[in-house]
Structure 1
């Protein structure tokens, strides 16, 4: 069954041949095929590999000799990372692989993050790492759909403990390659950002309306990794339009919360994708709920959403800084942008009488947006709350206008 599925197995074959060969054996034993990539630097693989370390270095416009003489192991591995990432993408585009499995300690994991980030959403990506789920791994380097498993007890040599991790990873990546339904984009896609219905609810009404117009709708949870997935797909031109109504990750990045990276709210604009934008939850910074409140946010009003996530309110001055940042990001857009400004509030908690209401802060934000919004952005000021029906009606009216004008392609 599915013997045609080929998994790219990546690692330093000079030091981890036993472990990598074990992975390949498990995949082959389950009816899959393997393609081996060697990212060693100093040593040589003692078994045949389909992609040699010399090819990896060449893909980074270098040579193994130059890699060795680059200065230290850090610079050497960065060269190999660049070559491995480029080759993996080429192999996938050429339909030679259907998934990837990378094994390593900190060096191998560093390389694995680059390699997996180079592959599109929907390509099965598995990392077996001695530092899986560690705070060493920055969120902005983790591919949106990567899977990890801790390489427990496996730093050097095979044993019964590490075989449990290795065999699970081998079976998982092959199973994923067999079962995955990669995005086909048979209908034009609208990418939308939001949070759960307790705080933002527009997607409940918008999704069926957009589907009735012939569009698929993908709603991304804007808590860091969701925003990264949204941005990566926007950069690829996967969306006919975006409804970026929860750009709180911009505020998070400014003030030390759950960031989706410095590029948040820029990729759709640079890719020429029409944008409908609103400031959902712009006034909050989310941080890890089970950790101490970050120093700059200490002593202010917070809302514990659950045991994982807590939100801190921004001051009026900080909200104005968010407004200026949003405007700078929207200014780079090469396609039409409409900004919807609900003057009645931008999350369920900041309604009149809400637990996080700050009328003065909202007024300051709205004033700054009116003053700073770039000329390429159409302002739609709405005398309602973002969760009111009036917001949905205004968004659909703008969407239908752009659809009729051909700004949004169907």
Structure 2
């Protein structure tokens, strides 16, 4: 018999009881077992939740009365978010829940985002929100496998439009719980960042070579959320090494682009002491939505439209020197070993001669600044080739193999058997 998944259903039962009870019924009808978590502060729900607001407060050694007196609704919900995150993490670790779903407007979403981040990857996490996918949500608040759905008609009470959304979400989280496959540490995992395969293509060589060596390779597409996922998993110490070769999100963030992974891009692997091999892939470009005007400050720069969603312009010499300094400052924070590969022949597909973003003077300025900015103990490896060349991948693999041989990177089971 198929296991009945235990679905933790979270919301403010004092104001959204009708919606939460409707979702509980839909979860049951889909084959799940709803477990209610109430995060109300002032009122009480007209039902008895399995985990009430007192349990949430107790998880951080306080009381609901103290939370209510903390200042205002913002401070109260921050404290509830802390308590709920601790409680839910403990419930999952004890095997008492299989998935998490929450509903809310800005307040409920704010709290639910913290809970989702507290749960490991592979545990289904779903937020029904009136601000789903909004730019109000900063990248660093988004769990790497978070699912969201826009809560149409979700302001006050049930209606057919609202039910259409809530029923889909309820079925989706049950289905996810039934089919979820949590990551298993069967092989040591290496992360690689890239920007598709047309702009940066080194993973076509690196992935099979690393797999031959007995490693699992996870590649992250650095269009904002890909870099965010890499950072979240690195902070959770999921990798034995990070090959961070696409840093465009760093340039995007510095230039105010919405295609951002957050302020801490290129920092979490270093903080965790994970060995890093880094290269400046695509940092000459700044992304923006194709369907919006080119930013005024970059309106005279070379332009490339990737598709109807994403376009890029290049920064000039001063902008590239600025990003070079930012990269070096981030690498200097690392507590583990770092090697930086500087390909002076180019850093993305379209910056080569004959391509639309070819600017050799600006590339030279970046390389010059990078040479002076990188400081020991970060290793600097300068090559004449392009980042998509065999010289680049050979250099990266040589550093990787040297670090494995010296014990800096954990060997795979295959390597241990042959040593």
Q: Secondary structure at the match of 1:184?
A: coil
Partner of 2:287: 286
Moved more, 219-228 or 64-73: 64-73
CA distance in 2, matches of 1:293, 1:117: 34
Q: Secondary structure at the match of 2:246?
A: coil
1:400 matched to 2:401: yes
CA distance in 1, matches of 2:131, 2:374: 44
Cα shift at 1:272: 1.1
Deviations 1:330-369 (A, max 9, x none): 1121221111111100001111232111111111111111
Deviations 1:198-247 (A, max 9, x none): 11100001100100000010000011110010011111111111100001
Moved more, 235-244 or 46-55: 46-55
Partner of 1:217: 217
Q: TM-score, normalised by structure 2?
A: 0.95
Cα shift at 1:46: 2.2
Q: TM-score, normalised by structure 1?
A: 0.97
Deviations 1:99-132 (A, max 9, x none): 1010112211121122212222221111112222
CA distance in 2, matches of 1:335, 1:130: 41
Q: Is the 8 A contact 1:88 1:115 kept in 2?
A: yes
Matches within 5 A, 1:16-55: 16-55=16-55
Tell me: CA distance 1:294–1:66, structure 2 relative to 1, closer, same or farther (3 Å): farther
Unaligned runs of at least 5 residues, structure 2:
412-419
Cα shift at 1:178: 0.9
Q: Secondary structure at the match of 2:206?
A: helix
Partner of 2:119: 119
Q: Is the 8 A contact 2:143 2:232 kept in 1?
A: no
1:11 matched to 2:3: no
CA distance in 1, matches of 2:234, 2:132: 28
Partner of 1:331: 332
1:340 matched to 2:367: no
Moved more, 389-398 or 144-153: 144-153
Q: Secondary structure at the match of 2:13?
A: coil
Q: Is the 8 A contact 2:58 2:83 kept in 1?
A: yes
Q: Secondary structure at the match of 1:239?
A: coil
CA distance in 1, matches of 2:319, 2:60: 43
Cα shift at 1:264: 0.7
Partner of 1:364: 365
CA distance in 2, matches of 1:61, 1:357: 59
Partner of 1:90: 90
Moved more, 380-389 or 116-125: 116-125
CA distance in 2, matches of 1:53, 1:186: 39
Cα shift at 1:188: 0.6
Q: Secondary structure at the match of 1:279?
A: strand
Moved more, 129-138 or 26-35: 129-138
- Aligned pair count reads 410
Q: Is the 8 A contact 1:2 1:31 kept in 2?
A: no
CA distance in 2, matches of 1:100, 1:399: 38
Cα shift at 1:74: 1.6
Matches within 5 A, 1:313-328: 313-328=314-329
Q: Is the 8 A contact 1:60 1:80 kept in 2?
A: no
Cα shift at 1:150: 2.0
Cα shift at 1:248: 1.0
Partner of 1:374: 375
Partner of 1:186: 186
Q: Is the 8 A contact 2:302 2:356 kept in 1?
A: no
Partner of 2:417: none
Partner of 2:154: 154
CA distance in 1, matches of 2:135, 2:237: 32
Partner of 2:140: 140
Cα shift at 1:159: 2.4
Cα shift at 1:70: 2.1
4+ residue runs over 6 A deviation: none
Unaligned runs of at least 5 residues, structure 1:
none
Q: Is the 8 A contact 2:303 2:356 kept in 1?
A: no
CA distance in 1, matches of 2:132, 2:324: 37
CA distance in 1, matches of 2:128, 2:361: 50
Partner of 1:229: 229
Q: Is the 8 A contact 1:330 1:374 kept in 2?
A: no
